[in-house]
Structure 1
C-alpha cells in the first residue's frame, strides 16, 4: 500500500473509524446527496436512474427520483461505514447488530453435513454480515479481486482481521470453496456482479437479461449444500443493523444452468424487493448485453 491512492484509502478508513455510527452515517448521507445534486453530470446518478427505470418501469418519475436519492444516501452510508466495519474492535461492532432473523437456516445446513452456500447480494451493509458470520462460523468468502493490487491487499488484510478466509474467483478459489463445503463449513458468494467472459450466462434479473455467474448454482448441484440468502439491513436513526436469512429457491440446485441461474436471480430479486432503497443500484448490472440487444447504459 505504498501508492498515493493506497495511503489515502487507509487514511479515509482510519478517519471514518473514529466517528460514532450516527456521525458516519450522517457523513454518508451527505455524500449521497452531493451525487444526487450533480444530476446527469454524475455517472453514479445516471447509472442509478437507468437501473431503476429498467427494473421498476412502473414507478412514476417522482417515485424514481425519491428512490434514486434514497439509494445514493444508502450507498454513501455504506462507504462511510467501512472504517467502522473493518477497524472497530469486533465486539464493539457486534453490539450494533440488533436482531438476527432465521439463523436456524444456517445451523440446519451445517448440521446436515454438506455445508451452506450464502447468497450475499450487494444489499444493506454486506461487511457487517461478513463480520457477524466470521465471528460465529468458519466462513470462507469468495470475491472478485479488484484491478488495483493495492486495494486487493487492503481488502484481504481487513477481512482476514475479522476471521474471514478469502477465496479469489478463480480455479484456486473454487477448489478452496469446495474443500470448505466438504468440511460442512459455510461459504459466501456475491451473486450480482458480472462474471468474467465464459463464466456466466444471460438470465433474467427484474425481467431483463443480465450476465450472471453460473458458479454458485454449479456448487449447489455438485455438493448438495444448503443455499441461503442473507443481508444486513441498516436501521433508521443510526440504531444499528438487523440481519435476515431466507431460503433460496429450490431450483437453484438444478443441473440445468439457465433454470438454476434464473432461480438464483429470483432469490436475489426477492431480497431486493424487501429493501429496494438499500440495494447498490449504482453498479452497471446490465453492462453486458445479449448479442443484438441494445445497450442500456
Structure 2
C-alpha cells in the first residue's frame, strides 16, 4: 500500500510540475484561501499561533495576516513540484534579487564552515537549491514514512550535488566532518526537536522545546551561522534570496542562552515577512511539563 501511495504522490508531483509559476501560485493561493474561509484545522492552528506570537495585532490585522499566511502556504505547496521536477537552471532563473549573500562569502573566507539556518519562510526548497548550486553543501532532513518516496526526495534534492543526511548519530557526524572541512550545511531550525538535544527557550514569548544542535555544531567545529530564506515576490515575479546575520549568542555554552538566541534569529526574519511564514505548524505544542497545550486547552504538555 505504501508503495502505491508513493507512486501516486510522485505522479501528482510530476503532473503539477507542468504548471508555470503563475498558475501554480494562483491555484495554491485559491486552496489556501479556501482553507481559511472554511475554518480548516490549518486556520485554527494559525489563529492560535498568531494570537500568542503577535499579541500586538488587533483582531482585524490578525485575520488579514492569517488569511494571507494560508494563501502563501498554499502557494508553497504548489511550488514544491516545480522545485523538484523542473531543470535546476529553470528554478534558479526564478531568483530575481539577492540580499546579503555577501555575508556567505565573508563567513567562508574565515576558513571555517557555515551553517545556513533556513526557517519555513517563503520557498525553502528554492533557497536550498540556490546555495547547493554554489557550494559543497549537506542538509539535515527527517525521512518520510514511505521509503520509496524518501528515495525520490533524496534524488530530486541532491541533483546539483547536495548531500542529504539523516538526523541520526551517523548523519550528525557527517555534518561535523563537512563543517570542519570548511563546507556548508543547511538546517531547518524552527521544528520541534526530538531526542535529548534540546532546551526550553522563548519563541515569541512562549517557552517551547528548541534544538540545541546548532550550538553544539558551532562549538565543536568553529563554524559560523547565518539565517536565510527565499522570499516570494508579488505578482508571480519570482523570488528574492535574503541572508541575515544570526544572533551573536548562537554558540553560547549555556544551552538555554543558545536556544534563546536561535529563536531570536528566527523571529527577526519572520518579522520581515510574517505572511510568508508557515504559521499552521504546531510549533508551540512542546512546552514545559504541566503547561497548558495552546492547541488543546483541555490538555497539558508532557514536556
Structures share fold, TM-score greater than 0.5: yes
User: Contact 2:214/2:251 (CA < 8 Å) preserved in 1?
Assistant: no
The residue that corresponds to 2:252 in the other structure is 254
**Residue in structure 2 matched with residue 126 of structure 1 by the alignment:** 124
Partner of 1:76: 74
Q: TM-score normalized by structure 2?
A: 0.94
CA distance in 2, matches of 1:38, 1:197: 36
Distance 1:127 1:162 in 2: 13
**Could you say if the C-alpha distance between residues 154 and 38 of structure 1 is closer, same or farther in structure 2, counting changes exceeding 3 Å?**
farther
Structure 1: gaps spanning 5 or more residues: none
Who is 1:15 aligned against?
Answer: 15
**Correspondence 1:65 to 2:63:** yes
| SS of residue in 1 equivalent to 2:294 | coil
CA distance in 2, matches of 1:27, 1:182: 44
CA drift of 1:2 comes to 6.2
Would you say the 8 A contact 1:97–1:242 is kept in 2? yes
Instruction: Write the mapping of 1:226-265 to structure 2, written as runs, cut at 5 A.
Output: 226-265=224-263
What does residue 4 of structure 1 align with?
A: 4
Residue aligning to 2:90: 92
Show the 5 A alignment for 1:191-206: 191-206=189-204
Deviations 1:110-167 (A, max 9, x none): 2211110111100110001011011111111011223333442332121022322001
- Structure 1 position 25 matched with structure 2 position 25: yes
Quote the RMSD (CA, aligned, Å): 1.3
Contact residue 115 and residue 187 of structure 2 kept, 8 A: yes
Distance 1:198 1:223 in 2: 20
User: Which stretch of the first structure deviates more once superposed, 57-66 or 225-234?
Assistant: 57-66
Separation in structure 2 between the aligned mates of residue 30 and residue 147 of structure 1, nearest angstrom: 28
Structure 2 residue matching 1:166: 3-state secondary structure? strand
Runs (5+) with no aligned partner, structure 2: 296-303
- Asked if 1:45 is matched to 2:43, the reply is yes
Deviations 1:272-293 (A, max 9, x none): 0000000000110011120121
The SS at the match of 1:31 is helix
Q: Is the 8 A contact 2:2 2:146 kept in 1?
A: no
**Is contact 1:224-1:253 (8 Å) kept?**
no
| Residue equivalent to 1:35 | 35
Give the match for residue 300 of structure 2.
Answer: none
Within-5 A mapping of 1:119-268: 119-268=117-266
Write the distance in 1 (CA, Å) between the matches of 2:195 and 2:164: 22
Deviates more, 1:173-182 or 1:159-168: 159-168
Change (3 A) 1:148 1:53: farther
Work out whether residues 113 and 183 of structure 2, in 8 Å CA contact, stay in contact via their aligned partners in 1. Answer: yes
Higher normalized helix content (fraction of residues)? 1
